[in-house]
Structure 1
């Protein structure tokens, strides 16, 4: 898995595999919950619940979100928060743990600041060495295993020319589909997208809210032709000194109704990233304000995963607890092992999907990732596969006649494009009026720097009432690699495994030349 390009989804704290990272995400989730109680309760009891002065604190961010609500909604949410904040200490400890359950909500300090005054919780305490051991291992150690893009093709990055444009990674939108319109129906849904992105060096890219379109009914789609880059600047793949590199994008969807929820999530994301970074620094004993990225290279993606998990879980809690009907955010991650890795020889990943639910509705976003890089140098020469394929087939007859046939085909095949499957175009070979041998074989230029060619496919043996029969009775894979200027002789035999002794063989005598 470590050598594949992985595309991952982060829904909530259950998406986190590593126990230390999960503990940080869950503690920060509880910090946001307690901060919400304090911020919302302050709307009705400002003298009892004092907000911190810092505009970027979680409480201030949450308070601004509350102020955007209607008066009735604001009062309902504030009174609910007050009731939660006034619960007995035993209930709060049950829900938020020993430390957070006893935080003084009357303090003018933020909840996160008050928590930092206490000893680091045992389940969170860790070391620089431990985090270094899991950094740049998002797909194998940090996030719950999902799936990977198989059969990546490696391209030696040394073939790339010095560039005017950087090697970059794009996140592209293909379609937004209304699966189910929001309820209650009050005209068209006015949908907008926004979010944040973070790379392994802890650089943050804010994604301003952008209008997607009006959706009048289920099944209506907004198509982006050509695909649209979701944010700018693009991710610079050459930033940072080590591989693999990991990138996380958190997407927010909102109805364009003036609620400001997308803006709230961006502010929350930024504030929570700061708090989680501080929590991680404290957990390893580095202290507040430490240059964590230089101490633990690759920690940015760990923090990004924790932020995405905490925000996803928080929005779900916010909806259930306060009836704040919003679309759940979606976080996705990508792990690229090296500058030379592509998707099956292509610069674009396959289409991926993100589902947003909220307001009683559901929308599906189709996206992909795309690599941009400089073309190979002009002096790179096209590889050519030359030689011959000798096909032999035998129709076994119980009468002892056993008709057989041999045909030779010349091969002279230029390979000009990386990752493209070039068909050897070997015609089927029939014999005895009953047997047919097919060689479905292609050649692929695997690596434009070393010039390796992969020959792969399969032999199929059919037997029936005629040579045109589709009764498949035997198959055998073909798979071998030729280095530049290498000549190889490879024989592959396929037998009738269903009935009789019919047999087919292809002997390849091939050279990988210029």
Structure 2
């Protein structure tokens, strides 16, 4: 959106100076065109667009309390790392560390934004009560000590508090259920092949990819002040694969002159936000997620830095879990681990961005997260809604509502698979 928005009067719950949106969060997705743009620019109208239920999210992980404990601890540590780095971006950290990755991203921002970010972060980490609330057990460390320890020094397999025996039981049970489901799906596939007269010697058709698509974007209410000028809206985000691997979704411009009730429509099947490859090896079921953000375009390198960080955090979380389940002998433990990590990282990505936006917001909307569960790889199960809710390889449309700064935007989205 346009830079005319003001942060005056937007008091944070920390009673701290604000970090302008472009200082920390708008830079999460650099100014590059997203893959999947097709043809001429989509038309914009003032027609009313349909509204659908809000997209499902990964949830709050309460069904997996041990995983929730681990990922919450990682979230606290990552937030503290972000705060100490932002407070003094001139301080160097070991090469390859999460802190040095964050510092590299921050240093790519304009100097005035770095200064604003540093002032807010210093105020936060100076208050022991705020540190405890925002960083959990890690907040007991003084900022200087935490900076010396870093994420890798406080988040280790032996230090993270959670029920290790409970995690082993839960993942073992989940692996057994995945194995039973996998065998049942294989049997069903063979039965369907006979029913539809598919020669058994031929490969049963399977899916090749999963698309996440943007159908339309509506300016329900232009941000304040509505005069002079129009809203400049860009979109981007993060995609989370079934094993927790994250991919940056490059920012693209939706429109630079939105007015009240204007709608930008992308021709069916919609603009490709991200495509997941489904042909790789690995057991099913699988889960996938996207984090969708509306932001002002920014060309800094913070997006690249934060995406590198996600990979390292995911690896550290996996090390904690793997040590806890060491010795478990089941062929489907890897599938259970992948499912748990994918869901947990999706939750962490959404929660961490939400924290950044709440703390540093100025010209930003909170992100929207969309989660999908895919039971099997066989394409015929995604043709009929009576199976898993898919109709002709497509799930029903969902609507994100982005509210903020006196304005509101509606974004219609959907998942679809490709045979």
**TM-score normalised to the size of structure 1?**
0.55
The match for 2:155 among 87, 98, 116 is 116
Query: Which residue of the partner structure matches residue 242 of structure 2?
Result: 200
Query: Which residue of the partner structure matches residue 313 of structure 2?
Result: 275
Query: Which residue of the partner structure matches residue 361 of structure 1?
Result: 407
The whole-number CA distance in structure 1 between the counterparts of 2:210 and 2:307 is 22
* 2:56 counterpart of 1:9: yes
Query: Which residue of the partner structure matches residue 276 of structure 2?
Result: 235
Whether the aligned pair in 1 keeps the contact of 2:244 and 2:346 (CA below 8 Å) is: no
More helix by share: 2
The match for 1:156 among 185, 188, 192 is 192
* 2:355 counterpart of 1:322: no
CA 1:307–1:26 in 2, change beyond 3 Å: closer, same or farther? same
| 1:371-412 CA-partner distances (Å, limit 9, x unpaired) | 222xxxxxxxxxxxxxxxxxxxxxxxxxxxxxxxxxxxxxxx
Whether the aligned pair in 1 keeps the contact of 2:175 and 2:333 (CA below 8 Å) is: no
Query: Which residue of the partner structure matches residue 135 of structure 2?
Result: 96
- CA shift at 1:306, angstroms? 2.3
**Tell me, which stretches of 5 or more residues in structure 2 are unaligned?**
1-53, 179-189, 326-330, 386-390
The whole-number CA distance in structure 2 between the counterparts of 1:136 and 1:274 is 29
1:8-157 equivalences in 2 (<5 Å): 9-10=56-57, 14=60, 17-43=63-89, 46=90, 50-54=91-95, 57-58=98-99, 60-61=101-102, 64-65=105-106, 68=109, 71=112, 73-88=113-128, 92-93=131-132, 95-102=134-141, 105-106=144-145, 111-116=150-155, 119-123=158-162, 125=164, 127-134=167-174, 156=192
- CA shift at 1:368, angstroms? 1.6
The match for 1:213 among 255, 260, 272 is 255
**Tell me, which stretches of 5 or more residues in structure 1 are unaligned?**
1-6, 139-153, 288-292, 374-514
The whole-number CA distance in structure 2 between the counterparts of 1:357 and 1:15 is 25
The match for 1:252 among 274, 285, 293 is 293
Whether the aligned pair in 1 keeps the contact of 2:74 and 2:155 (CA below 8 Å) is: no
CA 1:41–1:203 in 2, change beyond 3 Å: closer, same or farther? closer
CA 1:24–1:215 in 2, change beyond 3 Å: closer, same or farther? farther
Whether the aligned pair in 2 keeps the contact of 1:199 and 1:301 (CA below 8 Å) is: no
Q: Which structure is richer in relative contact order (CA contacts within 8 A, separation 6 or more)?
A: 2
CA 1:70–1:113 in 2, change beyond 3 Å: closer, same or farther? same
The whole-number CA distance in structure 2 between the counterparts of 1:336 and 1:368 is 14
Q: Secondary structure at the match of 2:268?
A: strand
Whether the aligned pair in 2 keeps the contact of 1:247 and 1:334 (CA below 8 Å) is: yes
The whole-number CA distance in structure 1 between the counterparts of 2:230 and 2:93 is 40
**TM-score normalised to the size of structure 2?**
0.66
| 1:264-314 CA-partner distances (Å, limit 9, x unpaired) | 456424413421331232244179xxxxx9852243343233233223333
Q: Secondary structure at the match of 2:335?
A: coil
Query: Which residue of the partner structure matches residue 8 of structure 2?
Result: none
CA RMSD of aligned residues (A): 3.9
Q: Secondary structure at the match of 1:123?
A: coil
CA 1:205–1:79 in 2, change beyond 3 Å: closer, same or farther? closer
- CA shift at 1:224, angstroms? 0.8
Structure with the greater alpha carbon radius of gyration = 1
Q: Secondary structure at the match of 1:211?
A: strand
* 2:202 counterpart of 1:171: no
1:264-413 equivalences in 2 (<5 Å): 264-265=302-303, 267-285=305-323, 296-338=334-376, 339=378, 340-342=380-382, 343-344=384-385, 345-373=391-419
Query: Which residue of the partner structure matches residue 456 of structure 1?
Result: none
Whether the aligned pair in 2 keeps the contact of 1:40 and 1:63 (CA below 8 Å) is: no
Whether the aligned pair in 1 keeps the contact of 2:171 and 2:333 (CA below 8 Å) is: no
